[in-house]
Amino acid sequence: MIKCQLGTILGASFYLYWCLPTIIGSFTDRFGGQWFAFIGVLGPCILSAISPLAIDYYQDIALIIIQIMIGGFHGFTYPAWFSLFSKWFYGDERTRANSWMQIGNAIGCSGMYFLAGHLCKLSTIGWHLIFYVMAAIHLPWLALWLWYGSDDPYTNKRISDMELQFIQQQNLEMIKPLSLSKKNKIRTPWLRILISPVVWSSVICKMCCAFGFFLILNKMPSYFAIVFQLTIEQNGLMSALVVFAFGVGSFISPIICNYLIKHFQMSPLLTRKISQNIAMIGPAI
């Protein structure tokens, strides 16, 4: 496979992902995040299962199309979770919830990197098994989400009265059920958001961080294989360690930030600025 094709395939998952979260986020405000979260996991599950057959018949074209579609479904996931976090968690809990989401992402990615190298050698069907295992891993979560998932504590059928009362007491800004909140719906000021320097500075910071992270994530396996001539198992392990380190950082950083805010009276804004600088300057060095 030539480098141009490889770059197209690696970037395909972002062709829809870059714009869909904003669109889906506006829908989660109206309809809640429960089913958007479910769709965001169900789509990649199905596409992963059919990937080997599609690639065998249509080769790189099928892989690019599937990657684009998977990226589109991933655009459902984060907006749905942020919507759910705003209704289920309060104050510092939201920071920790976001941290655990990033940790889960890192554990999942590092686990699949590690397994992928070994799965290729364990089966006569080779790399096909990687996609089948990825699809199978989705199934338990989908089943549990259908049983336990809900948009907010008010609509959850399995929450106890004590749990609901605790959430209501701690989170005074808890969003009421959709049927009660539509009358007080606040329109999103899209124009003010688009021309806001604060928004664009945040976007640029995120672009810079994401560029470095995904450059390493996507090109590192090729670098290890070509320069260091690592086996596919060794390559999977090294790639897994890099993503696992990201998970460790996601676990530690909220603890440190909350400690600085509580014990050193640092403002949340200053804490976030320091964290953002560390996140950008560290990889640059």
In whole angstroms, give the CA distance from residue 129 to residue 38.
24
Distance, in Å, from the CA atom of 138 to the CA atom of 144, rounded to the nearest integer, reads 10
Q: Sign of torsion, CA 131 112 66 4? A: negative
Write down the pLDDT at residue 284: 75
Q: Is 152 within 8 Å of 32 (Cβ atoms)?
A: yes
Nearest residue to 70 (alpha-carbon basis) of 135, 26, 114: 135
> How many Å apart are CA 26 and CA 256, to the nearest integer?
32
The residue ranges of every structural domain in the chain are 3-161+196-284
Predicted local confidence at residue 179, as pLDDT: 45
Rounded Cα distance between 119 and 128, Å, is 9
Tens-digit pLDDT string for the chain (285 aa): 567 777 888 888 889 998 899 899 889 988 889 999 999 999 999 999 999 999 988 888 999 999 999 999 999 999 999 999 988 887 777 877 888 888 888 888 889 888 888 888 776 777 889 999 999 999 999 999 999 999 988 888 888 888 888 887 776 555 454 444 445 567 788 899 999 998 998 888 888 888 888 888 888 888 888 888 888 888 888 888 888 888 888 888 888 988 898 888 889 889 988 988 888 887 777
Asked if 76 contacts 40 with a C-beta cutoff of 8 angstroms, the reply is yes
